[in-house]
Structure 1
Amino acid sequence: MTQKPSSSMRVAYISQYNEPYALGERPRPVLEASDVLVRIHAAGFCHSDHQAWQGQFNSPLGLVPSHEPAGVIAELGPTYNGHLKVGDRVGALNFKHACGDCAGCKLTLRTLKRLDPRFCEVRETAGFQHDGVFADYIVADPATVVKLPDSVSFEQAAPLMCAGATVWGSIERTTQGLKPGDVVAIIGIGGLGHLGIQFAKALGFRTIAVDNRPAGCELARQVGNPDLQPDLVVDSSVPDDAAKAIYDLTNGEGVAAAVVCTDSVAANRWALKLLRTGGTLGLLGLPPQPWQFDADLIVFKELSIKGSYVASKEATERMLKVVESARVSSRLTVIPYEDIPSIIEKYEDVSFQGRLVVSFVEKSQIMI
């Protein structure tokens, strides 16, 4: 039975940079036009939420964080006439309300024959410059809402709306033209990398997991589905030894693609050396300092470097099909809404593994 929306809702927000999130109440958002109201059941905490909390994006104080929502459609906007229904289980991606007039919108209309809100110059971005999803309700744009498979819990679905979609989008872009059995390296085994290993394996690639932390290497070995475990786990704390192990597995060629799930400039620069001739490096991190890459490697081995901004709605729907069929899952730590002020401390613990997810429902209703 769908819960009737109340006139107010619980929220967490940034009261000051580098201070614990504050808890409070705000009016429930009002639906306009063709948007939909989503009752949040679970919301994820991402590395970029940590960056916003530190002030890296100059987010406005009072901002509600998080951009990884999973919940149920509670209400439809007055002019909505699509396929979504009240009661549908959904997730929402972190971009909405494409204007249709800017250069980014005109380009996607011309090349894709549709709007892609990711590239709108005035898009709304939850948890960065616009309120996010650490709240009981959010207004979502149907253009970036995806239905969730019944077999995927809200807690598992939440991290897929950013962490999953981000690494999935990069894997799709960096593996174009590759064949099953080609070798893909996932570098940095946290929330994104843990999912990236499973996606690469589910798509038929031999997969190498790389991290310089014991916790990351351990997490790579703890993939729940044995069919999705990496072919090799490499400790990169000694880079030369790590590179040798990777070249040994690939008969001296190097990997066909490497997706780097960290903002470390040094790690990305090192990853370039692992690529075979014609290989592709996928960039996902957002370091505060400029990227630095070896021009000789790029030129003489004809390497490609590809950025990836999350994934489109269509790519996310493809991801969800793989999640369901291959039984992809995240290592989760689920906390209740009341514990949000302690979430930074949990995230910064060097022994932490996987993803943090906030539940907005009663503890007895949580299903990992």
Structure 2
Amino acid sequence: MVSSQPLPSHMTAVHLRHYNKPYELVTVDMPQIRDNELLIEVHAAGFCHSDLQVLRGQFGTALPIIPSHEPAGVVVQVGPKCSGSWKVGDRVGVLNFKNACAQCVGCSLSQRRYKNHDPRFCEKRETAGFQHDGAFAQYLAADPDTTVVLPSSLSFEQAAPLMCAGATVWGALEKATAGLEPGAPVAIVGIGGLGHLGVQFAKSLGFTIIAIDSRQAGRDLASDVSDRLSPDLVVDSLADNATEEIFAFTKGEGVAAAVVCTDSIAANTWTLRLLRIGGVIVPLGLPADRWQFDADVLVFRELVIRGNYVASAESTRRMMGAVARSGVRSHITTVELADVSKIVDMYQDKNFRGRLVVKIR
């Protein structure tokens, strides 16, 4: 199926040409989709901490590349062999990983575990914005298996951060809270782009939420949401009585689960000691140094440390349902495409909070 409107032969895009240098606006050829792909007209795309890591060369990315892996837009072309009932005009968001090979060990294991070839674990997967062209462009080729329909109530600007930040913390919460009783105490540690979404998601799922951050800006952000999605307790992790306050709030038990949205090893080590017997911690940060967890509390309280690698497409669809029902929203700052060269400095401003989103259209 093709677009009802003729598509251009070229498009405006953002290039990272040199590590640690500003982004540049360029004109490039339109992406040519494969028979099993969708062509997305990008309306908004988010800037993530991983994009900063790409810019610094931490992933060894071959340059030039089009950055960003948080796109939201409209389907304008459907390949003749696409899976699903996609049609031109669908409003969608696109996850990063795409085009599983269906032959490697990762695909084989994910087929047994998830009943499909999950591109997250494919050894030959494509990673938009990391090793392959991403979403800071007018058009993007997308894998239908990692594309999700957006709620009609959700703007493209709000949808974009959900495709990585939202999917990451939502996937972590699903793992951390599986089987928990309604109202169980859940801690979100580190209230930034992921954490402020985590607070809202966890609250929408019916848990009692403790938002924890060492920064006043983070603690303020935790409560800068609708009243029904605000945390039940906000804690300064540097306060002398922080641990006592949390145990008093949980009647001496500790928290049932914690999602840690910072790469601070000290924060993760401390959070482990906040867990009740049988509690679960999901660390989302990737520190340069090795993790170090205390064996005594891990063993004697039978705690669980659980990994999380973003969310699957199926999990992301559940997230979109929660967003539609509960009105979860990101604290976003929008940037016009023409001003994209300023985005890195904006992100690194110590007073910045929330998520940055580039308006493509």
Tell me the TM-score normalized by structure 2: 0.97
Q: Are the structure 2 counterparts of residues 62 and 254 from structure 1 closer, same or farther at C-alpha, using a change threshold of 3 Å?
A: same
Q: CA deviation at 1:61?
A: 2.1
- Structure-2 residue corresponding to 1:173: 175
* Partner AA of 1:195 in structure 2: L
Choose which of 17, 20, 24 in structure 2 pairs with 1:18.
20
Contact 1:44 1:159 in 2 (8 A): yes
Choose which of 128, 131, 154 in structure 2 pairs with 1:126.
128
Q: CA deviation at 1:2?
A: 6.6
What SS does the aligned partner of 1:237 have?
Answer: coil
What SS does the aligned partner of 1:314 have?
Answer: helix
- Structure-2 residue corresponding to 1:332: 332
Contact 1:4 1:74 in 2 (8 A): no
- Structure-2 residue corresponding to 1:85: 87
- Structure-1 residue corresponding to 2:301: 301
Structure 1 unaligned blocks of 5 or more: 362-368
RMSD, matched Cα: 1.3
Deviates more, 1:144-153 or 1:105-114: 105-114
Q: CA deviation at 1:245?
A: 1.4
Structure 2 unaligned blocks of 5 or more: none
- Structure-1 residue corresponding to 2:231: 230
Q: CA deviation at 1:220?
A: 0.7
Q: Are the structure 2 counterparts of residues 28 and 233 from structure 1 closer, same or farther at C-alpha, using a change threshold of 3 Å?
A: same
- Structure-1 residue corresponding to 2:357: 357
Deviations 1:249-273 (A, max 9, x none): 1111110000001122221112111
Q: Distance in 2 between matches of 1:257 and 1:228?
A: 18
- Structure-2 residue corresponding to 1:135: 137
- Structure-1 residue corresponding to 2:270: 270
Q: CA deviation at 1:183?
A: 0.3
* Partner AA of 2:157 in structure 1: E
How is 1:38-117 mapped onto 2 (pairs within 5 angstroms)? Answer: 38-80=40-82, 82-117=84-119
* Partner AA of 1:38 in structure 2: I
Q: CA deviation at 1:82?
A: 2.8
Q: Are the structure 2 counterparts of residues 68 and 179 from structure 1 closer, same or farther at C-alpha, using a change threshold of 3 Å?
A: same
Contact 2:256 2:276 in 1 (8 A): yes
Identity of paired residues, percent? 57
What SS does the aligned partner of 2:98 have?
Answer: coil
- Structure-2 residue corresponding to 1:322: 322
What SS does the aligned partner of 1:268 have?
Answer: helix
Q: CA deviation at 1:285?
A: 1.2
Contact 2:91 2:149 in 1 (8 A): yes
Q: Distance in 2 between matches of 1:47 and 1:179?
A: 33
- Structure-1 residue corresponding to 2:244: 244
Deviations 1:216-246 (A, max 9, x none): 01101111x21100001111123x4221211
- Structure-2 residue corresponding to 1:33: 35
Deviates more, 1:196-205 or 1:7-16: 7-16
Q: CA deviation at 1:93?
A: 0.5
Deviations 1:119-163 (A, max 9, x none): 111111111111111111110000001000110000000001000
What SS does the aligned partner of 2:287 have?
Answer: coil
Q: Distance in 1 between matches of 2:359 and 2:29?
A: 20
Contact 1:2 1:87 in 2 (8 A): no
Q: Distance in 2 between matches of 1:23 and 1:263?
A: 32
Q: Are the structure 2 counterparts of residues 9 and 182 from structure 1 closer, same or farther at C-alpha, using a change threshold of 3 Å?
A: same
Q: Distance in 1 between matches of 2:34 and 2:140?
A: 12
Deviations 1:32-75 (A, max 9, x none): 11101000000001111111111111122212111000000011
Contact 2:83 2:145 in 1 (8 A): no
* Partner AA of 1:47 in structure 2: H
Contact 2:97 2:127 in 1 (8 A): yes
Q: CA deviation at 1:204?
A: 0.4
Q: Distance in 2 between matches of 1:41 and 1:4?
A: 18
Contact 1:15 1:61 in 2 (8 A): yes
* Partner AA of 2:336 in structure 1: P
Deviations 1:148-202 (A, max 9, x none): 0110000000001000000000000010110111000000101110100001000
- Structure-1 residue corresponding to 2:280: 280
Q: Are the structure 2 counterparts of residues 28 and 185 from structure 1 closer, same or farther at C-alpha, using a change threshold of 3 Å?
A: same
Matched, 1:255 2:255: yes
* Partner AA of 1:121 in structure 2: E
Q: Are the structure 2 counterparts of residues 298 and 348 from structure 1 closer, same or farther at C-alpha, using a change threshold of 3 Å?
A: same
Structure 1 segments (4+ residues) deviating >3 Å: 1-4
Q: Are the structure 2 counterparts of residues 241 and 51 from structure 1 closer, same or farther at C-alpha, using a change threshold of 3 Å?
A: farther
What SS does the aligned partner of 1:191 have?
Answer: coil
Q: Distance in 2 between matches of 1:72 and 1:162?
A: 18
Deviations 1:307-329 (A, max 9, x none): 10111111100000100100100
Q: Distance in 1 between matches of 2:13 and 2:181?
A: 46
How is 1:192-211 mapped onto 2 (pairs within 5 angstroms)? Answer: 192-211=194-213
